[in-house]
Structure 1
């Protein structure tokens, strides 16, 4: 399969106004349709929907997977960005005082699949990863 299609992802949030501020302001995503219980976002061409759910505390994952010496939260979601855009975005997030679970860094340096990556949580504890490959032909390389 060589054609990319937009994905649809719906995630739970415990505090819709706080999540809305995070996705609209911190991540600067374009808001789409909404109701009192959910908000659609243009997540880099994909449809992300935050749904208010009865979560009594943040859902920050206790599960992690070891990847290149870092404890990656599982589950997580995110996007593969253009190299220059990723670096600009990382600086913007730092200036907005985003608390990183894994600071922006280069993973698999000098190896197949070398990539820039960072992890952080939204206000409801959903883990996000933003990454970039300097050579996009290596996204699925072994």
Structure 2
């Protein structure tokens, strides 16, 4: 059965540099490659990187704009350790807040070479933290039509 794939597209300064970042940093897979855009498969989603330097916003103009993923706790720990060992420049270093509560979460933020902000999180108790008691059912059965 085909499962929906979340898709996001955004501009980057340099296509090759962006591709290298996502593949090296996150282990993303490369899909379609064209002259001015490529598809990257990251965290079960498809992002399309468009080489459009004039559309890349300066960091100060990003506001709250970002994208990311919520990982299983252990996967987040493994990724955080690997990124730290790679000496990745974090906007917010890997950290855990709400320790011992139902809202306990792990989080880190970093930017790609064009300044696009990526947030990677994990929750000890995702259903409670996200206030979606049926989260397991939601993630296991995506029947839209």
Q: TM-score, normalised by structure 1?
A: 0.81
Q: Aligned equivalents of 2:104 and 2:44: distance in 1?
A: 24
What is the match of residue 114 of structure 1? 104
CA drift of 1:141 comes to 2.1
Alignment match, 1:70: none
| CA separation of 1:76 and 1:6: change in aligned 2, threshold 3 A | same
The structure in which a higher percent of residues are strand is 1
Q: State which structure, 1 or 2, has the greater radius of gyration over its C-alpha atoms.
A: 2
Can you give the 5+ residue segments of structure 1 that lack an aligned partner in the other structure?
65-73
- 1:45-98 Cα distance to aligned partner (Å, 9 max, x none): 11111110123876324565xxxxxxxxx1111000010010000011111111
Aligned to 2:142: none
Q: How many residues align structurally?
A: 130
Distance 1:47 1:56 in 2: 20
Corresponding residue number in structure 2 for 1:17:
16
TM-score (normalised: structure 2): 0.80
Task: Please give the per-residue CA displacement for 1:28-57, whole angstroms capped at 9, x wherever unaligned.
Answer: 101111111111111111111111012387
The 1:56–1:98 alpha-carbon spacing in structure 2 relative to 1, beyond 3 Å, is: same
Alignment RMSD (CA, Å): 2.1
Structure with the larger helix share? 2
Asked if the contact 1:32/1:41 (under 8 Å) is kept, the reply is: yes
